[in-house]
Each structure stands twice: as C-alpha cells, then as structure tokens.
Amino acid sequence: MTPNEPLKKAVLHRMAIGKSMCPHGLKAKDLLKRQGFDVEDHLLTTRADVDAFKAAHSVTSTPQIFIDGTRIGGFDDLKAHLGLADTATIFTPYRPVIALFAIAALMACVVAWLSAGGFFSVRLIELFVAISMVLLGLQKLQDVDRFATMFLGYDLLARRWVRYSYIYPFVETGAGLLMMAGVFTWLSAPSALIISTIGAISVFKAVYIDKRSLKCACVGGDSQVPLGFVSLLENLMMMGMAIWMLSQF
C-alpha cells in the first residue's frame, strides 16, 4: 500500500459483555488491522444487543465482519476471504510431536551445557531421550482414561490386561525422570525396555502386518497423529536408551 492510498474499510461487530471479550473478535480485529484495513469496531455490550444483531442479520454467531458492505462472516470466513485459511500439509498431523521433540532437544542442550559444560556428549543424547519420555508421558497423563481408550486399540498387552493401559503413562514418565537423574538404573532401564519392546511389537503388527489405519496415543488420547513411524520411533528410542543404560550399569 502506498502512503497516499486510502485504507480499506471493514466493519466489525463483536461481543464484549462485561468482562467477557470474544477472543475471535479480538483476533479478527487484529488480522484486519495487519492487513491494512480501517476497522469500524462495533461492540455488542449486552445479551440483548447480541440477540438483536443476530436476528437483524440472520446469523447464529459473532463476530461478523463486513467489507465494502458485504458480509464476510466470522473469523475463519475472514481468513478464507483474505486467502489466509490454514492449509493442511503432510506435516500437519505431526505438529504436536515435532514441537515436543524440538523442545526436548532444546531442554537437553540446556541441561547438558549446565551439567557437562558442553553440548556434544553422550549425555546429551541420554537427556534428549529421557526428556522426550517425560514430555510424552505428561501428554498421556493429562487424560489417562482417553489415552487408555486409544491405546487399547493396538497395544497387545493392554488388550489382554486393560489396567496396563492406565499404568503405562506412569511407567514411561517415571522411567524418564530416573534416567534424567541417572539414578535407580536397575529400575528405570528394565521398565523402559519392557514397555518399549511391547510397544514396538504392537505398533509394527498393527501398522505393517495388519495394515490398520489408527491414531497414535503417543501424545495423548486426543492425538491426530497417525499410528506408524512416529509411534515406532518413540518405542525404539526408549529401547535403545534402556539397552545403553543397562550396558553401562
């Protein structure tokens, strides 16, 4: 936009009743301003205002955005109108796992630097795997029942002993914490080896032998991550870590 070019005009109607502020309305206002619009902001400050606005424009929700006198719709409609709608890619379902492993790697670097005085060491790899286990376990512990429901879809031991699906997150998290601290290896390493071996066999059978299309419970019960390579990698990492620690014990 050139300095002399007039601002584009948008009219925004959003709810702001008492201390309740519509988050999508705030996001819509911010997006419009960042896109160079002059925003005429109308606040609906009472429930009666909201109901009257919905009835007048035959809509069921707010916020509502108008550009050049034409109703665009809500925040998602605005993004689509501006060509900014979220585009799914092959990596989209894996975003939670990518974020988790990236944070685990950064945390491992920090701890390794503080404890060992440098990044490049075997301890860095140990910390990365151990922290990843703790973070993955934490995701499962947020809702153990939902995790168990998804886990029962493919884990071989859990199908025979349902309580194992409830125990698993605690074992994974506890083993990861002990491995981070470098204590009670006699407990942490065998525990990690057992659950990871069962997990790897279960995933391999479900995905590569039975050819089933399932969601992975690796980052909790509401995960959209497809069961497959990531799930297998999680288990193989634990197996490798456990075997390494047992060899050093």
Over residues 129-157, the pLDDT tens digits come to 999 999 999 999 999 999 999 999 999 99
Q: How many domains does the chain divide into?
A: 2
60 and 176 co-located in one domain: no
CA distances, 6 to each of 40, 120, 240 (Å): 15, 56, 62
Residue 49 included in any domain: yes
Q: Which pLDDT score, from 0 to 100, does residue 218 have?
A: 82
77 and 101 co-located in one domain: no
Does residue 48 carry a pLDDT above 90? yes
Compute the mean pLDDT over every residue in the chain, rounded to the nearest whole number. Answer: 89
Over residues 219-241, the pLDDT tens digits come to 776 777 888 888 898 899 999 99
208 and 169 co-located in one domain: yes
* Residue 79 pLDDT grade (very low, low, confident, very high; cuts 50, 70, 90): very high
34 and 157 co-located in one domain: no
Phi first, then psi, for residue 64 (nearest 5°) are -130, 135
Residue 42 included in any domain: yes
225 and 153 co-located in one domain: yes
Q: Which pLDDT score, from 0 to 100, does residue 91 have?
A: 65
Does residue 122 carry a pLDDT above 80? yes
Residue 3 included in any domain: no
Over residues 123-128, mean pLDDT = 90
- What is the 3 state secondary structure string of the chain? CCCCCCCEEEEEEEEEECCEECHHHHHHHHHHHHCCEEEEEEEECCHHHHHHHHHHHCCCCCCEEEECCEEEECHHHHHHHCCCCCCCCCCHHHHHHHHHHHHHHHHHHHHHHHHHCCCCCHHHHHHHHHHHHHHHHHHHHCCHHHHHHHHCCCCHHHHHCCHHHHHHHHHHHHHHHHHHHCCCHHHHHHHHHHHHHHHHHHHHHHHHHCCCCCECCCCCCCCCCECCHHHHHHHHHHHHHHHHHHHHC
* Close Cβ partners of 69 (under 8 Å, ≥ 6 residues apart): none
Q: Which pLDDT score, from 0 to 100, does residue 222 have?
A: 74
Residue 86 included in any domain: no
176 and 243 co-located in one domain: yes
Residue 73 included in any domain: yes
Residue 2 included in any domain: no
Q: Which pLDDT score, from 0 to 100, does residue 32 have?
A: 94
CATH code of the domain containing 76? 3.40.30.10
Residue 176 included in any domain: yes
Q: Which pLDDT score, from 0 to 100, does residue 93 have?
A: 72
Residue 206 included in any domain: yes
Look up the domain containing 73 and give its range.
Answer: 8-81
CA distance 156 to 140: 18
Q: Which pLDDT score, from 0 to 100, does residue 102 have?
A: 93
234 and 174 co-located in one domain: yes
Range of weakest confidence among 17-21, 88-92, 199-203: 88-92
Helices 122-141 and 229-248 sit at what angle, rounded to 10 degrees? 130
Indicate the residue among 81, 104, 124 that finishes a domain: 81
CA distance 96 to 92: 9
**Nearest alpha-carbon partner for 94 in 189, 227, 210:** 227
36 and 98 co-located in one domain: no
**Nearest alpha-carbon partner for 224 in 92, 136, 102:** 92
Q: Which pLDDT score, from 0 to 100, does residue 88 have?
A: 56
54 and 161 co-located in one domain: no
143 and 74 co-located in one domain: no
61 and 106 co-located in one domain: no
CA distance 86 to 23: 18
Q: Which pLDDT score, from 0 to 100, does residue 51 have?
A: 93
Indicate the residue among 81, 111, 143 that finishes a domain: 81
Over residues 184-199, mean pLDDT = 95
Q: Which pLDDT score, from 0 to 100, does residue 248 have?
A: 84
- 242's tokens: 């456990």
Does residue 242 carry a pLDDT above 80? yes
* Residue 5 pLDDT grade (very low, low, confident, very high; cuts 50, 70, 90): low
Indicate the residue among 81, 111, 131 that finishes a domain: 81
59 and 134 co-located in one domain: no
Site of tokens 């109308």? 42
CA distances, 182 to each of 64, 189, 226 (Å): 56, 10, 33
Q: Is the pTM of the predicted complex or chain greater than 0.85? A: no
CA distance 209 to 196: 18
Q: Which pLDDT score, from 0 to 100, does residue 44 have?
A: 93
Q: Which pLDDT score, from 0 to 100, does residue 160 have?
A: 95
